Amino acid sequence: MTTGDIVGRDEELAALHAFFDTAGEGPAAVVLEGEAGIGKTTIWQAGVEAARERGLRVLTARPAEAERGLAHVVLGDLFEEVLDQVLPALSAPRRRALEAALLLDETAEQPVDPRTLGVAVRTALQALAERTPVVLAVDDIQWLDASSASALAFALRRMADDRVLLLLARRLVEGAQPSDLDRALGADSVQPLVIGPLSVGALHRFLGDRLGRTFARQTLLRIHEASGGNPFFAFELARALGADVGPLQPLPVPETLEELVRARLADLSVSTRAALELASALGAPSVSLLERAGIAPDALEAAVGAHVIERENGSIRFTHPLLSSVLYQCLSGEERRRLHERLAAIVDDPLVRARHLALATDGPDAGVAVVLDEAATRAVGRGAPAVAAELGEHALRLTPPDAEGDRQRRALASARAHRTAGEWIRARSIVTDLLSRTPTGSERAEALVLLAELESLDGSIDLLEEALGAAAASPALQSDIH
């Protein structure tokens, strides 16, 4: 899509062009903000195209909601096309860290050090920016995985005059906090660009371009009012109108957008809907992965023709995240578990496989819990504590009631991972629950030490003294506490 194809967004596009004029003046960001369906991704894509037309080096990533709990997904997407240029610029330790984080070196024995990885990312970006200004373009940053955010923020905080720009897009929700990338640059270097509703005139042109038809002014005004000028909502409402609907007839507007989306999906065949349901359970669906799951190519073709999904270089993406969300939410618990069971059998990444196994398992299962233990340990090794914490909690959930020792060990491991990931409130909650179940012994001592690390100085002293008493049977543990 060219910028000339975009209707009603002249001011936003002009702002992006002005932003790209600042390339070379040091790190800065523009953040496209707006509600779901307002057109952020369309403007983001136009910005990517405009930057490339100017000769800037653009690295892109489009994370999905289901990928948020995975490790270094966005980092891998950003560097995928330029690894042959950046790896030679890194020292051996930094190269090993980046290769391990991006799964280029599965033989790495040592965990990825977050600082080394952050320095590697900074060095890689600086090497690229020496040749031409670099634009990091990330859509839907509300779904940016924590490990990628940490590495990128570390790098950005340590840049001064480097020619690196960020083009970001995020869903605007009440109470939303700045992202790690915003905070890394500082408020003075971040330009928010709120994407508002389309005017009635712009909506008229938009619907004419997309649907090849026009509407009576009163009907158009009612579509605009019902949609709030949101292009996605307006498009769906207009699609729902029959060809012979007169201006005085009521609009067939569902009570909620979810019902509207369900009505649209209801027209799809059983095989196409089955393909889409499977895709909705995947973080990063692809044609090859769905075919491995037994999905016929014509089912995907029908979904593309219905404008529910789009394909690009073998990848599949829903044309709007709400389509995926509604599909998944419409499934029963048993249907979801069956989907995840199928996916666990065909995905390659052991962390992704473990997550699908967890979501496919309803009650206690010692075998799956062990797989999750191993995956959590692997996630720690990749420098992805947030992923390790999630996998650890799944392992805890699936631990049989009579395996109290395993439960205590997994609770401690998950709490430590949450602490490392910066989720101190969740870590404290897990430890507090563990202490209520563990009256004595070394496990209680370890939990008290961890809780002390999460508390203020005054409170930690009392906890450590209690931990010493609980560790009376373990001189080695007492020594560690001292």
The enclosing domain of 11 has a CATH number of 3.40.50.300
Question: What does the angle CA 332 – CA 337 – CA 341 come to, to the nearest 5 degrees?
Answer: 150
In a shared domain, residues 311 and 388: no
Higher pLDDT, 461 or 21: 21
Neighbours of 244 (CB within 10 A): 6
In a shared domain, residues 28 and 114: yes
Asked whether residue 421 is domain-assigned, the answer is: yes
In a shared domain, residues 239 and 104: no
In a shared domain, residues 13 and 75: yes
Q: Give the confidence band of 458 by pLDDT, cuts at 50, 70, 90.
A: very low
Last-in-domain residue among 229, 253, 277? 253
In a shared domain, residues 46 and 175: yes
Asked whether residue 308 is domain-assigned, the answer is: yes
CB neighbour class for 321 (10 Å; exposed up to 12, middle 13-18, buried from 19): middle
Could you tell me the pTM of the whole model? Answer: 0.76
CATH code, domain with 398: 1.25.40.10
Instruction: Give the 3-state secondary structure percentages of the chain, helix then strand then coil, rounded to 5.
Output: 60, 10, 30
Helix and strand element counts for the chain (H, E): 25, 7
User: Please, are residues 87 and 127 in contact by the beta-carbon 8 Å criterion?
Assistant: no
Cα distance between residue 185 and residue 160, in whole Å: 10
Write the pLDDT tens digit of every residue in 16-56.
999 999 887 889 999 999 988 899 999 999 999 999 999 99
| Residue among 154, 44, 46, 76 nearest 352 (CA) | 76
Q: Which string of b and e fits 353-389 if b means at least 16 CB within 10 Å?
A: bbbbbbbbbeeebeebbebbbebbebbbbbbbbbbbb
User: Please, are residues 72 and 147 in contact by the beta-carbon 8 Å criterion?
Assistant: yes
Last-in-domain residue among 194, 209, 232? 194
Cα distance between residue 443 and residue 266, in whole Å: 53
CATH code, domain with 288: 1.10.10
| Residue among 311, 330, 327 nearest 319 (CA) | 311
Direct distance between the N- and C-terminal alpha carbons of the chain, in angstroms, rounded to an integer: 64
pLDDT the model gives residue 251: 63
- Rounded mean pLDDT, 345-371: 94
Structure tokens at 368: 């799956």
| Residue among 239, 288, 228, 282 nearest 261 (CA) | 239
Sign of CA dihedral 471, 477, 478, 482: negative
The DSSP letter of residue 32 is E
Q: Which domain holds residue 177?
A: 3-194
Cα distance between residue 16 and residue 14, in whole Å: 5
pLDDT the model gives residue 151: 95
pLDDT the model gives residue 374: 95
The DSSP letter of residue 131 is T
315-318 and 309-312 beta bridge pairing: antiparallel
| Residue among 414, 396, 421, 417 nearest 406 (CA) | 396
Asked whether residue 217 is domain-assigned, the answer is: yes
Cα distance between residue 137 and residue 143, in whole Å: 14
Write the pLDDT tens digit of every residue in 218-277.
788 888 887 889 998 899 888 877 654 554 455 665 556 677 777 778 889 999 999 999
Cα distance between residue 360 and residue 352, in whole Å: 12
3-class SS at 153?
helix
